[in-house]
Amino acid sequence: MSTTLESGARKYSTKPNTLPLGQRLVQAGLISESELEKALELHGNRGMRLGESLVALGLMSEADLLPLIGGQLNFPWVRLKEGIVDPEVVRYVPRAVAEQYNCLALFRVHDELTVAMAEPQNLESVDFLEELTGFKIRPALSLKSSIERLLPRCYEEDFKVDVLTADLEDNAIELKSDEVFFDTNSIQVLADGSPVINLVNYLIVQAVRQGASDIHIEPSQRSSVIRFRVDGRLREVLKPRRDLHPAVVSRIKVMSKLDIAEQRKSQDGRFHVKVDDREVDMRVSSLPTVLGEKVVMRVLDRSSVTFNLDRLGVPDRQLDTLRKILNKPHGLFLVTGPTGSGKTTTLYSAVETIKHAGCNIVTVEDPVEYQLDLVNQVQVNAARQVTFASALRSILRQDPDIILVGEIRDAETAEVAIQAALTGHLVLSTLHTNDSASTVTRLRDMGIAPYKIAASLAGVVAQRLVRKICAKCRTSHYPTPEQSLLVGYEEVPRQPFKRGEGCSVCFDTGYAGRQGIYEIMGITPAVREVISSEGSQADYRRELAAQGGTTLLQEARSLAEEGVTTIEEVIRVALTD
């Protein structure tokens, strides 16, 4: 088991220093004289050690203080947390003894038992523990307050789960207090103290580190089930005890400023955290089910996404077509695909490409996921009657040059967007269709006249995200005849394809990361003629081929041939018919 013991002698001089600790801290510039007086007052009134008083007042952190004391005493020191305590070893020292001697057994290596002690220099205590346990004692300095805080938890019957947080530093996650209000009393009652808080923090930190887009926390008959969505697929990561579920939900509700008493209606909220020095927004949704409330947290980590068209993986031949569409002064530019296919990222990247100080860009989104510089972003709010259509009408009175509509969901929004494109604005939006050819059909189904579509449409991008093969466990294989037929081969290819066997790096999925595939159709005079004459999808595909464009299936199949993705992913993602 790895340790987090630090040597006091390694970083600080062990030469005798006759000055009291407080004066040495003042001399080092770590605290002021007035701060020392406050700590000494607390030290005298409550009988606390000076170091504990400094930590309690927030004048020094435990991480800063322990090395100083450890260096003075020439003892290793340890910052206590559940992950460092071996549940089996801690019981080598009975609880009554641990409370009496202010100590906590941490772990054992062969015949040496490491024990956190408030007074490691007390040889009498060390001798007693050696006689009691039968092991050689290695004392490590820790604050008495830290031992008292952790000790009750370590002697609980169910003390075995929280070793999950072994790699979670105390400062790994920081809730932005200026954006979220806390009622600390409610937290303590509803979340039952640090175990639940640690669990929620652990989930957030691990989700960010593993690149998860969503955290699902749902109740079941016997446990709470926690799953991460990574690379578009859900993966189970934890199954905490069923009785912890309400406390976890309450903790998340408090963080996102939701009504903790309301459990019969769905609620939406958000909060902002700092994880490993990365700014992350968490969008929270609660949903009542027959077994309890389910919570889903969307992880919006700006550092993990790029809004640069050149870095989205669009092939050069398609990127040229896309830039020509975006350089048009007006028209309707649509990005299509199912939920989770990266449409918003493509739209944001398009905006970042064409924005400049001389143009007025306004967006209407539900919700605003990422904030962009030089862009005026409007949030849809049904309670205040701010819909896509109504917001779009208001935006047209704001002298916009470029308008981004988060999604065209209904005929009213489609009509206003097309009218804006016809009156000299560049309008960017998304639509749920299978491919570029079915986009016009979808707009016609909404009641938009074909001549308006032909006159306003500037270009269409259909896209998907395919998972990439894990580089650590990639291996070769040949596709089956059925797979070959599905992806368009007349016979089984003789060349081997790649797939991932599954390993610890990819969590046994065989995949790590995703890449976009794109089908981009520019609106040429020939395409406008097909739109006006209400042509079939086959007509649109012929025009796409005439432009030198490729379909989603062709792009995905090329990636499989290059060993980037698998045949299975091509079948799962790129088959549109």
Asked if residue 367 has pLDDT above 60, the reply is yes
Measure Cα distances from 95 to 153, 163, 194 in Å: 11, 20, 20
Tell me how far apart the alpha carbons of residues 311 and 304 are, in angstroms, rounded to a whole number: 12
Type and span of the H or E element at 284? strand 278-289
Q: Which two structure tokens, joined as six digits, stand for 173? A: 């996650």
Type and span of the H or E element at 520? strand 511-522
Q: What is the pLDDT of residue 371?
A: 86
The residue-averaged pLDDT of 204-219 equals: 92
Domains contained in the chain, CATH given: 21-155 (3.30.300.160), 180-301 (3.30.450.90), 309-464+516-551 (3.40.50.300)
The residue-averaged pLDDT of 199-223 equals: 91
Q: What is the pLDDT of residue 263?
A: 87
The residue-averaged pLDDT of 200-215 equals: 90
Q: Percent of the chain beyond pLDDT 90?
A: 50
Query: How does residue 11 score in pLDDT terms, banded at 50, 70 and 90?
Result: very low
In this predicted model, what pLDDT tens digit does every residue of 221-273 receive, in sequence order? 888 999 999 999 999 988 888 888 998 999 999 899 999 888 889 999 999 98
Peptide bond into 152 cis (omega under 30): no
Asked if residue 184 has pLDDT above 50, the reply is no
In this predicted model, what pLDDT tens digit does every residue of 444-484 receive, in sequence order? 999 999 999 999 999 999 999 999 999 999 999 999 999 99
Long-range CB contacts (< 8 A, 24+ apart) of 90-93? 90/154, 90/155, 90/159, 91/155, 92/133, 92/135, 93/129, 93/132, 93/133
Query: How does residue 193 score in pLDDT terms, banded at 50, 70 and 90?
Result: very low
Query: How does residue 126 score in pLDDT terms, banded at 50, 70 and 90?
Result: very high
Measure Cα distances from 500 to 434, 466, 506, 570 in Å: 28, 14, 9, 14
Task: Determine which of 98-102, 141-145, 292-296 has the lowest per-residue pLDDT on average.
Answer: 141-145
Tell me how far apart the alpha carbons of residues 117 and 53 are, in angstroms, rounded to a whole number: 18
Query: How does residue 46 score in pLDDT terms, banded at 50, 70 and 90?
Result: low
Position 455, amino acid? A
In this predicted model, what pLDDT tens digit does every residue of 385-441 receive, in sequence order? 888 889 999 999 999 999 999 999 999 999 999 999 999 999 999 999 988 889 999
Q: What is the pLDDT of residue 13?
A: 37
In this predicted model, what pLDDT tens digit does every residue of 314-327 receive, in sequence order? 999 899 999 999 99
> How would you write 66-135 as a 3-class SS string?
HHHHHHHHCCCECCCCHHHCCCCCHHHCCHHHHHHHCEEEEEEECCEEEEEECCCCCHHHHHHHHHHHCC
Q: Which two structure tokens, joined as six digits, stand for 546? A: 């005439």
Q: Which two structure tokens, joined as six digits, stand for 277? A: 């020095």
pTM over 0.85: no
In this predicted model, what pLDDT tens digit does every residue of 47-64 receive, in sequence order? 566 666 676 666 666 666
Say how many C-beta atoms besides its own lie within 10 A of residue 283's C-beta.
17
Q: Which two structure tokens, joined as six digits, stand for 256? A: 């996102």
Tell me how far apart the alpha carbons of residues 344 and 362 are, in angstroms, rounded to a whole number: 15
| Closest to 408 in 3D by CA, of 367, 443, 456, 444 | 443
Please provide the average confidence, as pLDDT, over all residues in the chain: 84
Q: Tell me the residue ranges of DSSP E strands in 176-223.
A: 214-219
Asked if residue 559 has pLDDT above 60, the reply is yes
In this predicted model, what pLDDT tens digit does every residue of 281-306 receive, in sequence order? 999 999 999 999 999 999 998 777 78
